[in-house]
């Protein structure tokens, strides 16, 4: 029975399970786990720095906690009390502070009543997990008492006095507040078993750094990198073009909070340069998008932002031109940019036709050498480069992206990636050159991920490391980049030309063909995505991605290709709300199937705490299974089954004397 497994593996296994009793006990434990319902997975994409909405959705588990509270207390508690209980669960510290500040009377009864209610909610969300897993989610200082409360019933005649006395003593010893906060945090942890983020944490909104700080505190999450994430990774690696684009986007959306407060990036040199160089320029084309109406007192600040915005945009176009010249192997067809400007006539040549320019003030542009930085621009780029490279917090967050992320993931028969898989017009996988070798599909994604990592590895030869650093910019706007997949990026044209024809960006074949089930099947097969549980042919497989906002207000369906493809970019960022008509999606995969949660715009954390407002969400059933999905039907279940098989062989080896047991341990 042990022929199929290396005896050396069994010897190593015997160090953890030294005798038949310990091996048997673990087999029993693992077999029991296989019979539990699968944990709940949440998929989100394109968060774009909207930390308040994102964190609220995690705190309310995409509406699941509210449903649990109503299931438990509907009919026994008034609606307002249930709403307050939900708010307390979402924001325990802030809600308790408000209650305690506004109440002069003794809160002992409130604490006791609330603890009883929270224990019931916690029992509900923990019911599908083993005691061991729940125990690991408990705070160490309160673990024993909370575990006792979770596994005892206040209505059990034999244990009622015991249960009630625990609650009373918690209140009497002044620990009620700490226990309430601890139990609420446990509810948060157990409500979402696995979090999948399908790219674009950064840009537009003000709190990407807050989102990253939060992710560093939790377990069980993974990230499939998006184009905006790659942009910030490139900036952290020292790619000057990426740094310029990060700055341009931040100024475009009037979001300097992430740069200055989040990562300590010094913007003073840019501000000084912009004020001096563009002092006489109104910079009308560079007013920030989505900025609130400004009073006259803010006009000076608004003008400074526009000047900084234009200054870094021109520098970006120069740096991009330098990269295109340095890397002809990328075959980036930009039809020229700065060299196509005719300052004398105020026109720009695009695809052989001259267009009038909306802005012709370029004081740093040398028509004879348009991509050369002036001495002042060079000095500014060096200082900005230094600021990004020495930002300890930014580098820490990028390490988190690498340790929990990749270009794609396969999880429980679902293929996850941010944007696209390059395809040919006939639907076949497109061969893309990378370092002189053609790759496609899964191998292309893997090789790109390895190249991105090499930009941060000091054991990579310097020339290769610098080339990998530049490659982050290609991922941002290269035609064969799986994170872009368009014919060209028309940033310059959108700023300076009014004709919409010059703004068009032709999408790659993936976006034209992704609603075809046969194409999706081909992609899933090429990545080796196994069928989920099911009948003779196995169960359904899915592609899940984001990147392109779903125009829900115009009737676009996020579920495509007969349910094989789910596009979950619902527009978290406020800048997209008009486009999508909503404010984000969460795809939830629980033990009974898939549900797509559509979210309305979030007001603010402050209002949620003070008034008990919640994100209004609606649920669309995507796919329900014929039977409840168990752990044994998941990737984790297959791993556990392999462990069981190994333990059974170890048990056989013990019983037949192939390995000596240690009966004293």
pLDDT tens-digit profile of 529-575? 999 875 455 689 999 999 888 888 788 899 999 999 999 988 888 87
pLDDT (0 to 100) of residue 296: 47
pLDDT (0 to 100) of residue 446: 98
pLDDT tens-digit profile of 186-211? 999 999 999 999 999 999 999 999 99
Confidence of residue 301 (pLDDT cuts 50, 70, 90): confident
Residues of the chain above pLDDT 90, percent = 72
Region 333-360: mean pLDDT is 88
Token representation of residue 524: 């899933």
Q: Which residues contact 501 (CB under 8 A, 6 or more apart)?
A: none
Residue 602, exposed/middle/buried by CB under 10 A (0-12, 13-18, 19+)?
Answer: buried
Confirm if 451 and 237 have CB atoms less than 8 A apart: no
Token representation of residue 190: 């157990």
Please tell me the distance from the alpha carbon of residue 206 to that of residue 198, in angstroms, as a whole number: 19
pLDDT at 283 over 90: yes
> Whole-structure pTM over 0.85, yes or no?
yes
pLDDT at 157 over 80: no
pLDDT at 628 over 70: yes
Three-state secondary structure along 366-429? Answer: CCCCCCCCCHHHHHHHHHHHHHHHCCHHHHHHHHHHHHHEECEEEECCEEEECCCCCECCCCCE
Region 65-77: mean pLDDT is 92
pLDDT at 252 over 90: yes
Pairwise pLDDT comparison (450 vs 294), residue with the higher score: 450
Helix boundaries (H) for 455-551: 462-477, 491-496, 509-513, 517-526
pLDDT at 14 over 50: yes
**Three-state secondary structure call for residue 256:** coil
pLDDT at 119 over 60: yes
Confidence of residue 335 (pLDDT cuts 50, 70, 90): low
Sign of CA dihedral 362, 366, 367, 370: negative
Please tell me the distance from the alpha carbon of residue 645 to that of residue 631, in angstroms, as a whole number: 16
DSSP 324-339: HHH-GGG------SGG
Token representation of residue 576: 């997209």
Please tell me the distance from the alpha carbon of residue 73 to that of residue 376, in angstroms, as a whole number: 67
pLDDT (0 to 100) of residue 2: 57
pLDDT at 384 over 90: yes
pLDDT (0 to 100) of residue 44: 95
Please give the sequence-ordered ranges of beta strands (E in DSSP) within 616-656, or none if there are none. 617-624
Min mean pLDDT across 63-77, 94-108, 478-492 is at 94-108
pLDDT at 618 over 90: no
pLDDT tens-digit profile of 499-540? 999 999 999 999 999 999 999 999 999 999 999 875 455 689
Min mean pLDDT across 22-36, 162-176, 290-304 is at 290-304
Token representation of residue 573: 């960022």
Token representation of residue 541: 């497989």
Q: Report CA Rg, the chain.
A: 28
User: Domain segments of the chain: what residues?
Assistant: 7-36+646-655, 61-191, 227-392+427-476
Q: Which one, of 30, 477, 405, lies nearest residue 221 by Cα?
A: 405
pLDDT (0 to 100) of residue 535: 47
DSSP 173-221: TT-HHHHHHHHHHHHHHHH-SEEEE-S--SSSSS-HHHHHHHHTT-SSE
pLDDT (0 to 100) of residue 513: 96
What average pLDDT does the chain have?
A: 91
**Three-state secondary structure call for residue 238:** coil
Token representation of residue 413: 């028969």
Please tell me the distance from the alpha carbon of residue 526 to that of residue 443, in angstroms, as a whole number: 10
pLDDT (0 to 100) of residue 480: 95
Strands 565-567 and 542-545: parallel
Percentage helix, strand, coil for the chain under 3-state DSSP, each rounded to 5: 55, 10, 35
């Amino acid at each position: 029975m042990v022929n199929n497994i290396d005896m050396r593996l069994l010897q190593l296994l015997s160090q953890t399970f030294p005798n038949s009793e310990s091996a048997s006990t673990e087999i029993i434990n693992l077999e029991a786990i296989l019979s539990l319902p699968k944990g709940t997975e949440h998929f989100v994409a394109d968060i774009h720095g909207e930390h308040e909405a994102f964190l609220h959705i995690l705190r309310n588990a995409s509406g699941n906690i509210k449903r649990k509270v109503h299931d438990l207390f509907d009919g026994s508690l008034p609606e307002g009390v249930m709403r307050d209980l939900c708010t307390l669960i979402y924001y325990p510290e802030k809600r308790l502070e408000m209650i305690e500040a506004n109440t002069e009377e003794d809160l002992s009864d409130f604490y006791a009543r609330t603890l009883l209610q929270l224990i019931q909610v916690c029992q509900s969300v923990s019911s599908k997990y083993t005691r061991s897993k729940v125990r690991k989610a408990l705070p160490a200082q309160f673990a024993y008492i909370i575990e006792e409360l979770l596994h005892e019933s206040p209505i059990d005649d034999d244990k009622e006095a015991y249960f009630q006395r625990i609650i009373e003593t918690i209140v009497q010893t002044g620990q009620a507040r700490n226990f309430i906060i601890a139990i609420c945090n446990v509810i948060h942890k157990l409500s979402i078993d696995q979090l999948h983020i399908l790219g674009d944490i950064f840009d537009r909104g003000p709190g990407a750094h807050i989102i990253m700080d939060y992710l560093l505190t939790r377990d069980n999450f993974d990230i499939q990198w998006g184009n905006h994430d790659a942009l910030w990774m490139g900036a952290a690696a020292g790619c000057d073009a990426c740094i310029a684009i990060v700055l341009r986007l931040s100024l475009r959306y009037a979001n300097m909070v992430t740069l200055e407060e989040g990562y300590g990036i010094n913007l003073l040199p840019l501000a000084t340069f912009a004020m001096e160089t563009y002092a006489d320029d109104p910079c009308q084309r560079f007013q920030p998008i989505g900025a609130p109406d400004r009073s006259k007192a803010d006009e000076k600040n608004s003008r400074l932002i526009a000047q900084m915005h234009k200054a870094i945009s021109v520098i970006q176009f120069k740096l991009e031109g330098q990269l295109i010249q340095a890397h002809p192997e990328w075959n980036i067809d930009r039809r020229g940019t700065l060299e196509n400007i005719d300052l004398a006539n105020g026109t720009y040549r695009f695809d052989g036709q001259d267009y009038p320019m909306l802005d012709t003030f370029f004081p740093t542009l040398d028509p004879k050498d348009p991509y050369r930085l002036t001495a002042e621009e060079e000095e500014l780029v060096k200082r900005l480069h230094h600021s990004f490279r020495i930002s300890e917090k930014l580098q820490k967050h990028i390490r988190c992206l690498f340790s929990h992320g990749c270009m794609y993931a396969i999880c429980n028969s679902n293929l996850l990636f941010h944007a696209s898989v390059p395809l040919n017009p006939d639907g076949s996988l497109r061969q893309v050159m990378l370092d002189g070798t053609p790759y496609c599909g899964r191998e292309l994604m893997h090789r790109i991920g390895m190249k991105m990592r090499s930009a941060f590895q000091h054991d990579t030869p310097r020339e290769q490391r610098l080339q990998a650093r530049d490659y982050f910019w290609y991922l941002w706007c290269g035609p064969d980049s799986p994170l872009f997949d368009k014919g060209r990026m028309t940033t310059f044209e959108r700023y300076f030309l009014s004709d919409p024809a010059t703004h068009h960006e032709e999408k790659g074949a993936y976006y034209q063909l992704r609603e075809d089930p046969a194409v999706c099947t081909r992609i899933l097969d090429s990545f080796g995505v196994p069928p989920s549980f099911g009948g003779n042919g196995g169960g359904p497989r899915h592609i899940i991605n984001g990147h392109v906002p779903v125009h829900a207000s115009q009737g676009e369906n996020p579920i495509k290709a007969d349910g094989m493809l789910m596009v979950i970019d619902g527009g978290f960022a406020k800048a997209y709300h008009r486009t999508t008509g909503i404010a984000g999606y969460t795809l939830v995969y629980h033990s009974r199937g898939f549900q797509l949660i559509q979210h309305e715009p979030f007001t603010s954390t402050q209002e949620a705490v003070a008034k008990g407002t919640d994100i209004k969400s609606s649920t669309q059933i995507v796919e329900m299974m014929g039977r409840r999905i168990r752990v044994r039907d998941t990737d984790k279940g297959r791993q556990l089954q392999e462990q069981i098989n190994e333990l059974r062989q170890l048990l056989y080896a013990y019983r037949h004397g192939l390995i000596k047991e240690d009966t004293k341990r």
